[in-house]
Amino acid sequence: MKPVYFKPWIKDWEWGVRIALFLILLSSLMQLGLFAMTQQYIVAYLGSQPEDVWFCLMSTYAGIISILPVQFRFLRYFEVRSYLAFNIMLAMLLNCLCLFCQDITLLFLIRFLQGLVLGSLIVSVLILIFSRVPVERAPLIGAAVLYPTILSNIVVAGLFAGFVVESANWEVIYYYLIGIQLLMLIMTLLMLRRHTGHRRFPLYQIDWAGFILLACSALSLAYTFIYGSKFYWFADPRIRVSATIAGISIPLFLYRQHIVKRKLIHPGVFKSVHFVTALCLLAVYYGTKDSINLVYNYASGVLRWSPFQVGLLGVCNIAAMACLTVFSARAMIAGKYPVRFFLVTGFSLLAMFNIWMWLVLTPDLSYTDLLLPVLLQGAASGILFVPIMIYILKAAPGFSGTSGIVLAACTRFFVTLNSLAGLYNLQLYFNQYFKEGFLGYMTIENQNVTGRLNAYRSLYVAKGFSAEQGSGLANGAIWQNLLQQSQLLTNRAVFMTFAIILMVTMVLCLVVPAVRETLQHRRKRLLVKQ
C-alpha cells in the first residue's frame, strides 16, 4: 500500500501542497544562501580570512554529500512527519549556535552539522514530492523542483539580507531565519500525518565507516584546495597533513564500497560510459555557470550596487531560469526533443553569455546593459539542468540504487570547490599578468600617465589639499584605476576561457553522437554482408 503522508484537509489541495513543500525546502536552503550573502560581515565579525568563510561553506556541502546516501535508509524506517520536524528543530538550534559563535574553528563544526541536517531536510521533502507524482516522472519532477529552489534561495536570501543589513545589524538575519523555520515547523505538524502506513525497513548494516571516510575525504580535500594557495601548498605542514588524509581516505572509501554488501555508492555505476559522460557534462555546466558570480561581484564591487540591487538582477536571472526549466521539463515529459537538442542549445546559449560579457565589460555598465546577458544565462541554465540530470539518472544502472543522485551531488561539491579554489587561482594568474603589463607603461615618459596624474593632482589641490597631499592622492587614484582595469581584464579573460570550454563541449555534443551512429551503421552493414 502506498503511504499517505498528508492530512485530509490538504491532501486534495494540489497547489497548497506544492506551495507548502516549496516553502519548507526554500527555508532549509536559505541557510546556504544567507551565509553566502553575509560572508563579508562574518569576516569582519570573527576577524577571519575569506578562505575561512569559503571552508565554512564547503563544510556544509561536505555534510550534505556525506549524509545523503544514508538518508534514504533512514526514511524507510522513520515517519516523515516526525523526522522532518526533528530536523527543522535541529536547524533552528544550529542557527542559534551560529548567531552566538565567536570562534571560527567551532563555526567549521557547526556548518558541517548544518550540512548533515540540510541533507536530511532535502531528502525528506523530495520523498514528499515523489509521493505526489507518478513513479516514472518522479526523478524529472524532483530535479525540476529542487534545482530552481537551490538557485532561487541565493537570490531570495540576497534580497532578504540586503533589506535587513541596510536597516539593522547583520545578526538580525538569523532571528528572521529562525522565525521562518518555526513557521515551517508548525506547517509541517499541521499538514503531515503522524502515521503514514508505510512498511518499515530495519536499520541494519548501515555503512557508518563509509560515511566517516566520505566526510573525511570531502573535508580534507576542501581544506587542501582552499588553503593551498594561502599556505604555499606543500611547503606548509597543514597542507601536507590534509592532502595525506585525502590521499588515504579516498582510496579506503572506494575499496570499502567494493567489499560491503549495502553500498553508499555502487562502484559499478562507473562502468556505464553514458553515466560518466553525463557526469562530465554536469561538471562542465556547474563549472562554467558560476561565471555569473563575476557579474554580481562586478555590480557590487565596481558599480557599487547595494545587495538589494544585485538581488534584483539575480531575480531576473532566476525568472528566466524558472521559465525555461518548466519548458525543458515539459518537453522531456512529452518526448518532443532528444537530450542532444537541449545540450547543444543550452551550452550554445551559455557560451553566448560569456562572449557577450567579454565584449561589453567596462567600468560603467548600466542595469539595462547587464539585463539581457543575465537573462540569457538564466535561460541557458533552465534548458540544461533538468535534461542533464535525467540523462544521469537514466544512464545509471538499475542495481546502483541512489548512486546517481549521490554522485551528482558529489560533482556539485567538487565543481564548487573548483570555483572557489581553481577560479580564484585563475583570477590571481590573470590579475598578476595584466597588472605587470600595465606597470610596464606606468612611467614618467608616458604622456597619458603624466596627464592623468596632473589632472588628479589639480583636482585634489582645488578641493583644498596641499600640493604634497594632492600628489599622494593622485598616485593612489592611479593605482586604484590600475587595479580596477586589471580586474576587468581578468574577468574578460575568464569569460573567454569559459566560452571556449563551452563551445568545445557543444561541438562534442554534436559530433560524438553522429560519429557513434555512423560507426554503428557501418558495423551493421558489414554484418549483413557477411
Q: Is the pLDDT of residue 42 over 60?
A: yes
CA distance 25 to 125: 7
44-82: per-residue pLDDT in tens? 666 667 777 778 878 888 888 888 888 777 777 777 788
Residue 453 placed within a domain: yes
pLDDT bracket for residue 150 (50, 70, 90) = low
Decide which of 141, 174, 206 is a domain's last residue.
206
Q: Is the pLDDT of residue 167 over 80?
A: no
The residue type found at 286 is: Y
Residue 335 per-residue DSSP state: T
Residue 41 placed within a domain: yes
Lowest mean pLDDT among 153-162, 407-416, 423-432: 153-162
Q: Is the pLDDT of residue 473 over 80?
A: no
Mean pLDDT along residues 493-512: 86
Which set of grid coordinates corresponds to residue 183?
513557521
86 and 223 fall within a common domain: no
CA distance 21 to 29: 12
The three-class DSSP label of residue 192 is: strand
pLDDT on residue 170 = 65
Give Rg (Cα) of the chain. 26
Highest mean pLDDT pick, 103-112, 158-167, 370-379: 370-379
1 and 96 fall within a common domain: yes
Lowest mean pLDDT among 304-318, 399-413, 515-529: 515-529
Q: How many CB atoms lie within 10 A of CB 255?
A: 12
**Using CA of residue 319, residue 320, residue 326, residue 329, what is the dihedral sign?**
negative
202 and 212 fall within a common domain: no
pLDDT bracket for residue 108 (50, 70, 90) = confident
* Planar angle of CA 79, 10, 328, nearest 5 degrees: 90
102 and 222 fall within a common domain: no
184 contact partners, CB below 8 Å, separation of at least 6: 23, 24, 27, 28, 88
| Chain center to CA of 127 | 22
Decide which of 236, 261, 286 is a domain's last residue.
261
144 and 168 fall within a common domain: yes
222 and 250 fall within a common domain: yes
Nearest to 40 by CA among 268, 253, 297, 218: 297
pLDDT on residue 475 = 67
Nearest to 286 by CA among 221, 381, 222: 381
CATH code where residue 63 lies: 1.20.1250.20
Residue 397 placed within a domain: no
pLDDT on residue 194 = 80
251-295: per-residue pLDDT in tens? 888 888 788 777 777 777 777 788 888 888 888 888 888 788 788
CA distance 299 to 144: 29
Q: Is the pLDDT of residue 444 over 80?
A: no
Mean pLDDT along residues 434-461: 66
Q: What percent of the chain shows pLDDT beyond 90?
A: 0
* 0.85 exceeded by pTM: no
168 and 217 fall within a common domain: no
Residue 309 placed within a domain: no
Of the two residues 396 and 92, the one the predictor is more confident about is 92
Q: Is the pLDDT of residue 225 over 80?
A: yes
Of the two residues 222 and 527, the one the predictor is more confident about is 222
Q: In 295-431, at which residue ranges do the beta strands (DSSP E only) sit?
A: none
CA distance 426 to 422: 6
Residue 273 placed within a domain: no
Q: Is there a contact between 444 and 450 (Cβ–Cβ < 8 Å)?
A: yes
CA distance 123 to 119: 6
165 and 16 fall within a common domain: yes
Q: Is there a contact between 85 and 447 (Cβ–Cβ < 8 Å)?
A: no
Diameter over CA atoms, the chain? 95
26 contact partners, CB below 8 Å, separation of at least 6: 149, 152, 153, 156
CA distance 188 to 180: 12
Q: How many CB atoms lie within 10 A of CB 232?
A: 9
CA distance 312 to 294: 16
79 contact partners, CB below 8 Å, separation of at least 6: 194, 195, 196, 198
The total number of structural domains in the chain stands at 3
Residue 317 placed within a domain: no
Residue 168 placed within a domain: yes
Of the two residues 279 and 432, the one the predictor is more confident about is 279
Angle of helix 339-360 relative to helix 273-289, nearest 10 degrees, comes to: 20
Residue 409 placed within a domain: no
214 and 87 fall within a common domain: no
80 and 214 fall within a common domain: no
| Structural domain range at position 435 | 431-529
CA distance 527 to 507: 30
Mean pLDDT along residues 441-469: 67
| Average pLDDT in the chain | 77
7-31: per-residue pLDDT in tens? 777 777 877 877 888 788 777 777 7
256 and 196 fall within a common domain: no
Nearest to 424 by CA among 354, 477, 490, 364: 490
Residue 6 per-residue DSSP state: B
Decide which of 206, 223, 248 is a domain's last residue.
206
Which set of grid coordinates corresponds to residue 333?
515529459
198 and 223 fall within a common domain: no
Question: Phi and psi for 440 in degrees, rounded to 5?
Answer: -65, -20
